Amino acid sequence: MKKTLLFLLFFANLGFAGEKNVAKTGFAFLKILSNPKLEAMGGVQTSNCENENALSSNPSGLGENFGTSVFVNHNSFLQGSKTNFVGLKTTSDKNAFGISVRLHNVHKIELRNEIPTNEPYGTTSANFLVANFSYARKHSQKLDYGVSAKYLYEDIFRETALGFAFDFGTRVHFWERKLNFGLSILNVGKMSKLATESTELPKSINLGLDYRLKNLGKDFNFIFAADYQNDFGNSTFYKTGLEIGYRETIFLRSGYRFGYEALGFSAGFGINWQNYSLDYSFTPYKENLGNSQNFSFKMLF
């Protein structure tokens, strides 16, 4: 039973097969961004996360703009796995609050005994849930900070476990917020035992910066962003991203990840119309693993 669960845990986390040492942690889908904008920009998420984008990245960006918004995301991932995300954020004066629920499912996981066979003796599924509450505060025009508390649940092959985790983040702004720096510590927490062992969460510390050029030719805005990610000594990654916006209506995005075995280029676009936004990202994986497509819709009240 123990070997079966270890195999299932690895398979369930294959969704992040582009990363080294993926088998050392569970809940690896927490590193899969529930936001096409950030995903299209190479996964850069530490300084350029704003409003609902911050619900699953750096919580300090939650209150960037005033207002209330609802955000819905669907991610078709590798090996038939899927992620669905629903979030709500609202801003009041210098404070911002957000709640979200995220479901990740991996279906048709083949079951085999310790001796390999051509045909499995059955199939099972892995299901994960993350309920998140976030708070952020604008301390000043130059400093934001925030925290997220997460309730975690996993169900794999008739075994279940519960847990909790926290995200911490801050952002510092210069030159009328044209140059921004960010710091976040993600997924610090603990799970109860799944059968005989507890799942180790994918903790990471992230440093990021972005530089913004606004109103070039009166119509164009540019964002150049970069991130450094360290998984508490396990692995180190670098990410770069670019966004080109036209009249705050149409956005083209692209990025590249360094240090991953099967990940590299990503791209996408966004469309804003009045109080509605639609975003899409496409991330191809190497080694014939397939592609990831990410869709989201936002409505601002």
Instruction: Quick: pLDDT tens for 178-226.
Output: 999 999 999 999 999 887 788 888 899 999 999 999 888 789 999 999 9
pLDDT at 16 over 70: no
Asked if the structure places residue 297 within a domain, the reply is no
Averaged over 107-128, what is the pLDDT?
74
User: Exposed, middle or buried: residue 3 (CB in 10 Å: 0-12, 13-18, 19+)?
Assistant: exposed
> How far is 195 from 203, CA to CA, in rounded Å?
22
Burial 208-228 (b: 16+ CB within 10 A, else e): bbbbbeeeeeeeebebbbbbe
| The residue type at 154 | E
Q: CATH code at 211?
A: 2.40.160.60
> How far is 196 from 285, CA to CA, in rounded Å?
33
- Name which of 299, 291, 260, 264 is nearest 75 in CA terms: 291
Asked if the structure places residue 277 within a domain, the reply is yes
**Is-above-0.95 flag for pTM?**
no
Asked if the structure places residue 162 within a domain, the reply is yes
What single-letter DSSP state applies at residue 200?
P
When mean pLDDT is compared across 39-48, 76-85, 157-166, 200-209, the lowest value belongs to: 76-85
Q: Are 214 and 231 in contact (CB under 8 A)?
A: no
Report which of residues 34 and 271 the model is more confident about. Answer: 271
Asked if the structure places residue 300 within a domain, the reply is no
Count: domains in the chain: 1
- pLDDT of the residue at 15: 44
Domain containing 57 equals 2-292
Q: Are 222 and 216 in contact (CB under 8 A)?
A: yes
Q: Are 133 and 148 in contact (CB under 8 A)?
A: yes
Asked if the structure places residue 142 within a domain, the reply is yes
Averaged over 228-236, what is the pLDDT?
88
Asked if the structure places residue 298 within a domain, the reply is no
- Token pair, residue 218, equals 């009166």
